[in-house]
Structure 1
Amino acid sequence: MSANGSTYDSVDYRQLGADYWRTDIIDIEPGKIHVRGYPIQELIGRLSFPDMIWLMLRGEVPGKTQSRLLEAALVASVDHGPHAPSIAISRMAVSCGLPLNGAMASALNTLDDVHGGAGQQSVELYRQIRDRVAEGVPLDEAAKLCVDAFVAEHGKYLPGFGHRFHPVDPRAGTLLGMVDEAAAEGAVTGEYARIARAIEALLASGRSKPVPMNIDGATAVIYAELGFAPELARGIFCLSRAVGILSHAWEQSGRGERNKGPMPRQMPYRYTGPATRHLEDDAR
């Protein structure tokens, strides 16, 4: 008898343990590893890494076009240079003595709403517009309603559109072209590509300078077309950017630099506090 009066003898602890971490993903016994029902030895050498990601997350093996789109999104988001905060953090972390895994963890933890969350936010916005269209609202009107609501709640920055560095993001057009090809084949519907382009047209209306779709908006189209939940758009982006993070951390580890800060020591920062002052004798 336990302290709260329950009877231990009535509990099947073997079943309790089995149910505690129950999973549909992997079945392991001595000499056996089955992933979603497939023996691992039958997957090795036959599935690509994007195929394996799809199988793990979705439970089935993707079709060739689905796999190609997922792979394209992964490749496109791998890196954006040392000025990207996650990449810079990985390099600084290594110079401060962290091993590769520590540098990767530090960098990946920055991929939150501001730096890394735009893909998830874009999928959420696309889905809201899709829902309005499904209610009978014309696409252009649905895009305006949902964009206006997003801006009213979150501010003028619209995830997935515009870029602080590229006037036109060189990755977006190629990705959208691949979606168009997949839609022509019937592998995806193309509805999210139409939604994203409607937003792009809305943002260009009445402006002398357009606000084109960026990498986050384009990969969000792919993730939405492939049926991934918005949260997984961010998760898959983290998988992609982890490759760039690892690469930069490894490069930095060979340079022998210590305590690398966010900018060269020769570049002063600007102090904006009070001028030099001193405690008076009776101030304490």
Structure 2
Amino acid sequence: MTADERDASEAARWWATAVSHIEPGSIELRDRPVQDLIGTASLVDVIWLMLRGSPPAPREAALLEAALVAGVDHGPQAPSIAAARMAATCGIGLNNAVATGVNMLGDAHGGAGQQCVEMLGDIRDRRAPGGSWRQAAEEVMADWQSRSRYLPGFGHRFHPVDPRRDPLIHLVRGAVADGVVRGDFLQAALAVEDVLARRRAGARPVPMNIDGATAVIYAELGFQAPLARGLFVLSRSVGILAHAWEETGQGRRNKGPIPRTVLPARLPQPKDA
């Protein structure tokens, strides 16, 4: 083997991956020629294929698609959307505006799905075989709330009942009934809702929100907790892109968080100025 051949072999090992394989005239995604996927596989099919290594069953793909659709947008007041819209007026490219919005998706905004998958997994693991889901939920909720009163995936600052919760949970129930998924994470989430309802008898309920309902789906489909956040990012990127594109056509420059017409004539000065 020549020195050039050794270098090429070492470079190939350095970048070795099972995700894709590229050669002149050939592109394979998880060992499947891309030309065989074009026109036959949906984007959701390919997302699953790339993350999991094999294509989903049709009902699995339908559940994943429902979760992705549900998380696309939540209006311009959402920090990720607002940031993208403001960035789009600052003379940067559309890709930069989208990246600005995506980079706002952290633990407090966009990370609750990942956290909820972790919490539901704790409940599933805590429950003894044949034991009570509610008891397991109470124990795990106590653990989580010893660190923070916030339970990821439950309650919403704006919606008394998140309108995305019921259709998603309905789909999961159907998938459980048909043997598509097991239903353990669904039972864990419903147990949390039950405990919260008992605690707050007569008060405003705290049902699952979009993060909780999609966490149930991602967990039932076997996605690891960090991928719940990654999949939400993919979903919300669609809304971010749409808002950033709309903003670019409105002609504003350096859009701020509030209209200039309501800004004070003179900004307040620090007391020790």
Q: TM-score range by the shorter chain?
A: over 0.9
* Residues 45 and 61 in structure 2, CA contact (< 8 A), matched pair in contact too: yes
CA distance in 1 between partners of 2:143 and 2:129 (Å): 17
Shift of 1:263: 1.2
CA distance in 2 between partners of 1:42 and 1:229 (Å): 28
CA distance in 2 between partners of 1:63 and 1:30 (Å): 32
Question: Which of the numbers 223, 229, 235 marks the counterpart of 1:234?
Answer: 229
SS at match of 2:60: helix
CA distance in 1 between partners of 2:198 and 2:233 (Å): 33
1:246 equivalent to 2:241? Answer: yes
Match of 1:57 in 2: 51
Match of 1:211 in 2: 206
Question: Which of the numbers 249, 255, 260 marks the counterpart of 1:260?
Answer: 255
What's the CA shift string for 1:220-277, capped at 9, x where partnerless?
A: 0000000000000000000000000000000000000011001112334797874475
CA distance in 2 between partners of 1:112 and 1:141 (Å): 31
SS at match of 1:95: coil
Match of 1:67 in 2: 61
RMSD value, Cα: 1.9
SS at match of 1:28: strand
What's the CA shift string for 1:87-113, capped at 9, x where partnerless?
A: 000100011111110001111011010
Question: Which of the numbers 139, 148, 153 marks the counterpart of 1:145?
Answer: 139
Match of 2:86 in 1: 92
Shift of 1:205: 1.0
Match of 1:282 in 2: none
SS at match of 1:27: strand
Q: For residues 122-133 of structure 1, what are the structure 2 equivalents within 5 Å? A: 122-133=116-127
Gaps of 5+ in 2: none
User: TM-score under structure 1 normalisation?
Assistant: 0.90
Match of 1:193 in 2: 186
Shift of 1:137: 5.1
Question: Which of the numbers 171, 178, 184 marks the counterpart of 2:164?
Answer: 171
Shift of 1:174: 0.2
CA distance in 2 between partners of 1:254 and 1:171 (Å): 30
SS at match of 1:15: helix
* Residues 160 and 204 in structure 2, CA contact (< 8 A), matched pair in contact too: no
Match of 2:35 in 1: 41
The number of equivalent residue pairs is: 268
CA distance in 2 between partners of 1:226 and 1:198 (Å): 19
Deviates more, 1:201-210 or 1:68-77: 201-210
Match of 2:23 in 1: 29
Mark the CA change 1:119 to 1:34 in structure 2 (over 3 Å): closer, same or farther.
Answer: same
1:160 equivalent to 2:150? Answer: no
CA distance in 2 between partners of 1:137 and 1:258 (Å): 60
Shift of 1:151: 1.1
Larger radius of gyration between Structure 1 and Structure 2: 1
CA distance in 2 between partners of 1:28 and 1:134 (Å): 48
CA distance in 2 between partners of 1:133 and 1:272 (Å): 56
SS at match of 1:61: coil
Shift of 1:204: 1.1
CA distance in 1 between partners of 2:41 and 2:241 (Å): 23
Aligned residue identity for 2:152: P
CA distance in 2 between partners of 1:69 and 1:225 (Å): 10
Percent of aligned pairs sharing the same letter: 54
* Residues 168 and 213 in structure 2, CA contact (< 8 A), matched pair in contact too: yes
Deviates more, 1:143-152 or 1:64-73: 143-152
Q: For residues 3-22 of structure 1, what are the structure 2 equivalents within 5 Å? A: 12-22=6-16
Gaps of 5+ in 1: 1-8, 278-284
SS at match of 1:144: helix
User: TM-score under structure 2 normalisation?
Assistant: 0.93
